[in-house]
Amino acid sequence: MKKILFILLCSCFTIFSGLNAKGLDLKLLDKKEQSIIKISAFTTTGETEKLAFALNEGLDNGLSVNEINEVLVQIYAYAGFPRSLGGIFTFMKVVEDRKSKGIKDEMGKEASPLPKDFNKDEYGAKVRASLAGQDKIPESSGYQLFSPTIDVFLKEHLFADIFVRDILTHKQRELSTISVLATLGGVQGPLKFHLQASMNTGWTKDELEEFVKVISTCLDKEKTQELKTVLKSI
C-alpha cells in the first residue's frame, strides 16, 4: 500500500511540477500571458493531463473560452492539426467538467467580420513584412520563388485568414508561436525569426527573458538551452 501511494505521489509530482510558475520571480508577464505560454507548450507536446491543468489555470487566470480556442487554432499552423485538435478535444472536456461543477466561464468576443473586398494576399504580405520589421513589402525571393504555393498559403492563410482575427492581438499570437517553436525544438531558423517578430510586435527583451523562465518549466534542459542560445543571438 505504501508503495502504491508513493508511486501515485511521484506521478502527481511529475504531472504538475512543470506547471507552476510560482517562485520564478516574474515581474513583467501577467497570468494570462503565462497561461498562453503553457497552453501552447502542452498542446504541442500532446501531454493531455498537463494541458488540462494549464487550461483550467488559464480560465481561472481570466482568459475567455474564445481566447483559448483561438490559441489552439493558432497552434495548428505551427504544430499541425493533430496536436491542435487534440488540444481542442481536451479543452472541450475541461469546459464541460467546469460547467458540471457550476463554474461559469466567460465566452469572450467573436472575431470581427471582414469587409467584402478584403485582399488576403496584400494583408498577409503586410503582416509578414511587419513581423520581419520591414516598413514595405519586399520583392519575392528565396523560398517564395522556389515554392510559390507555400508563399501563397503563408500570406493568404496564416498571415491573413488567421492573423486578421482580432480575438487575439498579433503580440499574443507571437507569444503562442514562440512557445510552440521552442517546444518543438530543432527549428532554430523559424524560432529566431519569430523571437525577433515578437519583439517587433511589442515584446521586450526583458519580457522574453521571463518567457524563457516560464516555458522552461515545460521543456527539457536541451530545448531550454537551445531557446536561450537562439534568444541570445538576437
Tens of pLDDT, residues 136-181: 999 999 999 999 999 999 999 999 999 999 999 999 999 999 999 9
User: Would you say residue 134 has pLDDT above 80?
Assistant: yes
Between 31 and 5, the higher pLDDT residue: 31
> Which has the minimum average pLDDT: 10-19, 81-90, 193-202?
10-19
8 A C-beta contact, residue 168 and residue 70: yes
Q: Give the pLDDT of residue 24.
A: 82
Q: Mean pLDDT across the chain, nearest whole number?
A: 92
The proportion of the chain whose per-residue pLDDT surpasses 90, expressed as a percent, equals: 89
Compute the average pLDDT of residues 21-41: 90
User: Would you say residue 93 has pLDDT above 70?
Assistant: yes
Compute the average pLDDT of residues 83-89: 98
Closest among 16, 8, 21, 67 to 210, alpha carbons compared? 21
User: Would you say residue 12 has pLDDT above 70?
Assistant: no
Q: Give the pLDDT of residue 19.
A: 53
Q: Give the pLDDT of residue 22.
A: 57
User: Would you say residue 9 has pLDDT above 60?
Assistant: no
Q: Give the pLDDT of residue 4.
A: 44
pLDDT band at 7 (very low <50, low <70, confident <90, very high): very low
8 A C-beta contact, residue 175 and residue 74: no
Residue range 185-200, pLDDT digits in tens: 999 999 999 999 999 9
C-alpha 176/C-alpha 39 separation (Å) is 8
- CA torsion sign for 141, 145, 150, 156 is positive
Q: What one-letter code names the amino acid at 32?
A: K
pLDDT band at 15 (very low <50, low <70, confident <90, very high): very low
User: Would you say residue 113 has pLDDT above 70?
Assistant: yes
Angstrom distances, CA of residue 209 to CA of 133, 159, 188, 224: 20, 26, 17, 12
Neighbours of 227 (CB within 10 A): 25
